[in-house]
Amino acid sequence: MRDFSIKGLNISGSNLIKIVASVCLVAGLNTNPASAATMSKSNSETVEKEDKILFTGKSLKQNELVLKVAKALPSVGTGKFVWPAQGGYISSKKGPRWGREHKGIDIAQPEGFDILAADHGVVKAAGADGTFGNRVIIDHGNGYETIYAHLKTIDVQVGDKVPQGTKIGVMGTTGRSTGIHLHFEISKNGTTKDPLSYVKQ
């Protein structure tokens, strides 16, 4: 069995197998360090063949070893929000408008059209919603929720964990809208807040 060097570190073939086996256990693959270390050709679960290490039907190339350990995505917000669009200006603020209460802000004429999660959270709703058109609601796990409306397309699904700054969709003009823009709302424990108290360009 060959030895390997990864970024200046020399790793013996047997130790490499143990490392791979450990990673597979973390990843939930059905194998065990003992059978992996043995690498017996008579072992129906784990064999060495053509420079590959086989683990119950899944292979890792020895010369292209990539250790992929799942990183937990944050699902609870920081309480500090970032601008949810790529530039743009505020075309309408929170307050009375056209005989009704405008509960958020509108952002128009951005430099790009990606819509971004204002803080860490979990997607609570994603889809068409009447006058909002295509809209996404993110629950930030700390009493805060944010709404992103009039999207052209939605890039997330209910239950997705979205770190702050993650692209969740593309700005559009769906629903009741007079032009391409983002309608953005922030609420705390069910009470609508003024987004401009939390975000700035």
What pLDDT shows up at residue 141? 97
AA identity, residue 182 = L
Most confident of 21-30, 47-56, 57-66, 169-178: 169-178
DSSP 21-88: HHHHHHHT-S--HHHHHH--TT-SS--EETTEEEETTEEEEGGG-----PPPPP-S--S----SBSS-
Average pLDDT over residues 158-168: 97
Inform me whether the pLDDT recorded for 117 exceeds 70: yes
The region of weakest confidence among 72-76, 151-155, 188-192 is 72-76
Average pLDDT over residues 136-140: 98
Give residue 71's pLDDT band: very low, low, confident or very high (50, 70, 90).
Answer: low
How distant, in Å, are the alpha carbons of 4, 12, 15, 68 from that of 7?
A: 10, 14, 16, 16
Residue found under tokens 């204002």 = 118
Q: How many residues does the chain have?
A: 201
Neighbour-count burial of 84, counting CB atoms closer than 10 A to its CB (0-12 exposed, 13-18 middle, 19+ buried)? buried
Joined tokens for residue 201: 């360009």
Domains for the chain: give ranges and CATH numbers.
Answer: 4-64 (no CATH), 89-197 (2.70.70.10)
